[in-house]
Structure 1
Amino acid sequence: MGNQSLDPSLDYAKKLDEQDELSSFREEFYVKDDTIYFIGNSLGLLSKRSEIALSKIMESWKEYGIDGWTEGEHPWFYMSEKLGEMSAPLVGGKPEEVIATGSTTVNLHQLVSTFYHPKGKKTKILADELTFPSDIFALQSQLKLKGYNPEEHLIRVKSRNGRVVEEDDIIEAMTDEVALIMLPSVMYRSGQVLDMKRLTEEAHKRGIIIGFDLCHSIGAMPHALNDWGADFAFWCNYKYVNAGPGSVAGIFVNEKHIGTTPGLAGWFSSDKNKQFDMDHQLTPAQSAGAFQIGTPHMLSLAPLMGSLEIFQEAGIEKLRKKSLQLTQYMMDLIRHELADHGFEIGNPLEDHRRGGHVYLEHPEAARICKALKMNKVMPDFRNPNGIRLTPAALYNTFEEVWQAVQTLKRIMDDEEYKQFENKRGVVA
């Protein structure tokens, strides 16, 4: 679907929707008829199945009380493992390599605590300068806990243009001083997809442990973490996976590391058959379950079950195909309709390097986002000049893409955005 062959008509958008084999999944979600929700890369919409799954957990609490841990359709004691098994196809892991647990940053702390073992001159952690601040905060904390100065021991690979980080530059930074590498699968701002397979191979050639933050890729694109040999990964489930605000997150630990004592041990790190022996000597679970810490948050886990059922039916390969079509169509329309309005497309254009959103840059980005929101198009502003637009494959349509671009064109033509202040809100 290239720009040269673009048909910019509404009829063409409707035709694309008629050809969409995933169109029925839109009915699974609570979509407001008067709103175009293009912010699913920050918080996905509620599905009816997630709502039902949550109500079932409430019912089991009502029915069984404490016996809900072992009784009912989905005993709580095994729920994290069950959801890990259901999540495994989304990350390309084996069931025993994946667990639903914790939150993104807690899980990162767990994994770095487990796999960062500075020794001799091999003391540094390698990251990048464009990654999400939370990850940097955690890495800085872990270095301080080990007695190292983050200014010296946290390497942040520079971007050549402020949008993407080249794999060649990352590999060049893999010196014999690096003990651990932590990188995003997809850059949260520009949507760049890193070549995780290549980076893992290069890290392992140098004897370096490598892991990935999948927050902006899980649910939007396939992964093959086990095949690639990645050592670990972690992610949230409230963006493309649609499991709800602050929902329980996930961890992948490669099978070769199963049996490793967790850096941060806790009650649910235990082998389930021994957990209630009340022994003060931990026997870690022989699975990714060992990297749990505390008791699972059942009311935050439940919506994930409903959401993952939808992913099982839709299939991540088909979702990725539609996602790429949606973002390509959006970029083509933006070039066609907004060529004279000062927008730059800041995300990679190639399919294999582009995640699930379109990233636009404009000097008036903050006020343009406010104008879009006033017109019932929900965008995502990223300081200082970024607009992220995310047509989610499970519930957004090609017609919505067409309508959103027309709305954006009108906002620019009529200078509607000028009524707003060009700065972000408290939450952007």
Structure 2
Amino acid sequence: MDKQFQDGSNYPIFLDNNDSLGHFRQRFYLKKNSIYMCGNSLGLASKDAEESILNVLDMWKEEGIKIWNVEENKYHLYSIHLAILMAEMVGVDGDEIAVTACTTVNIHQAVSTLYKPTNDRYKILVDDINFPTDRYAIESQVKLRGYEIEDAVKIVKCKGKFIDEDDVIEAMTPDVALILLPTVYYRSAQILDMKKISEAAKKRNIIIGWDLSHAVGSVDVNLKELDIDFAVWCTYKYLNGGPGSTASLYINRKHFHQVPGLAGWHGNKAETQFKLLQKFEHRHDATGWQIGTPHLLSMAGLEGSLKLFLEAGLKNIRKKSLHITAYLMFLVDTKLSGYGFTIGNPRDDERRGGHVCLEHDESYRISLALKARGVVPDFRDPNVIRLSPTALYTSYEEVYRLVDILLDIVRNESYKEISDARNMVV
């Protein structure tokens, strides 16, 4: 890494001038005198997303209820339309994705469908450092089946900062029925070896599902090659779909014959949906796992954003993401290591996601000092400042300025003037 970069003030300008994705930056709403480093939590608004949202609003204003019938029923079938745009990003067929609900609801949907406990095989395998909503959903599901959480939820313990794949595989005992793990860990940016874990699960006939929320839009994923059972992901982080934008659910087509654990009228066959029969007729593709009416205003921004992603190309996005985060780590190493900062994420490209985890004993107060200086990071207990230079709209010059601001904060110890009374929202 030392040979790859320079730390002079002219070097980031050189990198920006030679950035093949740099022109996409102009298609986002960037605030003057602000450095946005929080795309791993909420992506910025793009002009493409805005155009899609305004188009749906215009349709609603013009058509009223007829909005469901315009453009060959596009909006009534909006999940299908968006799934086709998204399919290439995760390496599956469009009919294997439903754009619906939120990530936690989709976990409930997949698990309630695919979790089929028996007397001998009833445990669900999770870890102890995943984003907690996944754990909440799993615990709810085992309680609904009449099990005690302490017995039915099996936990792989983290040793140090990272989960060891061999520990996960060792925990795949004959009593495990289902596994849910994240592809990228939100606190450490660690990427798990999905192939190694998924193959081990399949050999043991264990249902395997993945939470891709910190991966899709930043990391190359091919679910078809992995042949996993299900996956969930949100769309408001790297995909820039908007605050609370509609999430996604992948169901491997080998499970299309199964009836959803949570059935709803929008999962009914299109041919009989408006006959409003009292008997549910499951649509045999991923859209059959929808529950209710499409949330058009929460889906529309995603349409514009996905088209932008397809234009840019995910491989190009991943290439820049790795390069610009490596540049940030280089600057941290060369300028900040003498002030108590360390890098808390894996260094190897194949092992890290799209954000950098900066650790310091005073991380919380430093994160507040950054906000006061126009930088938007986020903080995670106990000592992590998450920084996400996002490929489509972050410049190398911003990364350089960010590190200079951090250097000034710790040199002058200005963070010591800030209270440590913690407000944990971002």
Q: What is the TM-score normalised by the length of structure 1? A: 0.98
Separation in structure 1 between the aligned mates of residue 366 and residue 373 of structure 2, nearest angstrom: 11
- Counterparts of 1:26-175 in structure 2 under 5 Å? 26-72=25-71, 75-161=74-160, 163-175=161-173
Contact map agreement 1:90 1:223 (CA 8 A) in 2: yes
Partner of 2:175: 177
Separation in structure 2 between the aligned mates of residue 123 and residue 106 of structure 1, nearest angstrom: 21
Partner of 2:385: 387
Partner of 2:358: 360
**How far does residue 222 in structure 1 lie from its aligned partner after superposition?**
1.4
**How far does residue 156 in structure 1 lie from its aligned partner after superposition?**
1.5
Q: Secondary structure at the match of 2:263?
A: coil
Q: 1:264 aligns with which of 262, 265, 268?
A: 262
Q: 2:344 aligns with which of 346, 351, 365?
A: 346
Partner of 1:291: 289
Contact map agreement 1:391 1:401 (CA 8 A) in 2: yes
Partner of 2:235: 237
1:107-154 CA-to-partner distances (Å, cap 9, x unmatched) read 110011011110121010001111011111111100100001111211
Separation in structure 1 between the aligned mates of residue 342 and residue 187 of structure 2, nearest angstrom: 14
Q: Secondary structure at the match of 2:10?
A: helix
Partner of 2:318: 320
Separation in structure 2 between the aligned mates of residue 399 and residue 11 of structure 1, nearest angstrom: 9
RMSD: 1.1
Counterpart of 2:169, as a letter, is: I
Cα distance change on mapping 1:74 and 1:29 into 2, 3 Å = farther
**How far does residue 421 in structure 1 lie from its aligned partner after superposition?**
1.6
1:348-379 CA-to-partner distances (Å, cap 9, x unmatched) read 00000000000011111110000001111111
Q: Secondary structure at the match of 1:340?
A: helix
1:26-53 CA-to-partner distances (Å, cap 9, x unmatched) read 0110011210000000100000111111
Separation in structure 1 between the aligned mates of residue 4 and residue 352 of structure 2, nearest angstrom: 21
Aligned residues: 426
Question: What percentage of aligned pairs have identical amino acids?
Answer: 47
Counterpart of 2:293, as a letter, is: T
Counterpart of 2:96, as a letter, is: E
**Structure 1, unpaired ranges of 5+:** none
Counterpart of 2:33, as a letter, is: D
Mean alpha-carbon deviation: is it higher for 241-250 or for 61-70? 61-70
Counterpart of 1:57, as a letter, is: V
Separation in structure 2 between the aligned mates of residue 92 and residue 419 of structure 1, nearest angstrom: 49
The ranges of structure 1 where at least 4 consecutive aligned residues each deviate by more than 4 angstroms after the TM superposition are none
Separation in structure 2 between the aligned mates of residue 148 and residue 304 of structure 1, nearest angstrom: 38
Cα distance change on mapping 1:281 and 1:136 into 2, 3 Å = same
Cα distance change on mapping 1:78 and 1:41 into 2, 3 Å = same
Counterpart of 2:132, as a letter, is: P
Partner of 2:418: 420
**How far does residue 74 in structure 1 lie from its aligned partner after superposition?**
6.6
**Structure 2, unpaired ranges of 5+:** none
Counterpart of 1:382, as a letter, is: R
**How far does residue 314 in structure 1 lie from its aligned partner after superposition?**
0.5
Counterpart of 1:175, as a letter, is: T
**How far does residue 258 in structure 1 lie from its aligned partner after superposition?**
1.5
Separation in structure 1 between the aligned mates of residue 143 and residue 122 of structure 2, nearest angstrom: 12
Q: Secondary structure at the match of 1:324?
A: helix
Q: Does 1:308 align with 2:306?
A: yes
Separation in structure 2 between the aligned mates of residue 423 and residue 380 of structure 1, nearest angstrom: 16
Separation in structure 1 between the aligned mates of residue 391 and residue 277 of structure 2, nearest angstrom: 48
Separation in structure 2 between the aligned mates of residue 189 and residue 326 of structure 1, nearest angstrom: 19
**How far does residue 257 in structure 1 lie from its aligned partner after superposition?**
1.1
Separation in structure 2 between the aligned mates of residue 173 and residue 113 of structure 1, nearest angstrom: 22
1:300-342 CA-to-partner distances (Å, cap 9, x unmatched) read 1110101001011001111000000011000000000012111
Mean alpha-carbon deviation: is it higher for 62-71 or for 166-175? 62-71
**How far does residue 25 in structure 1 lie from its aligned partner after superposition?**
0.6
Contact map agreement 1:383 1:424 (CA 8 A) in 2: no
Q: Does 1:204 align with 2:164?
A: no
Counterpart of 1:219, as a letter, is: G
**How far does residue 72 in structure 1 lie from its aligned partner after superposition?**
3.7
Separation in structure 2 between the aligned mates of residue 74 and residue 328 of structure 1, nearest angstrom: 45
Q: Secondary structure at the match of 1:10?
A: coil
**How far does residue 92 in structure 1 lie from its aligned partner after superposition?**
1.3
Mean alpha-carbon deviation: is it higher for 169-178 or for 413-422? 413-422
**How far does residue 3 in structure 1 lie from its aligned partner after superposition?**
2.0
**How far does residue 230 in structure 1 lie from its aligned partner after superposition?**
1.0
Contact map agreement 1:70 1:76 (CA 8 A) in 2: yes
Separation in structure 2 between the aligned mates of residue 202 and residue 426 of structure 1, nearest angstrom: 37
Counterpart of 2:16, as a letter, is: D
Contact map agreement 1:40 1:239 (CA 8 A) in 2: yes
Contact map agreement 2:74 2:81 (CA 8 A) in 1: no
Mean alpha-carbon deviation: is it higher for 35-44 or for 269-278? 269-278
Separation in structure 1 between the aligned mates of residue 403 and residue 315 of structure 2, nearest angstrom: 27
Q: What is the TM-score normalised by the length of structure 2? A: 0.98
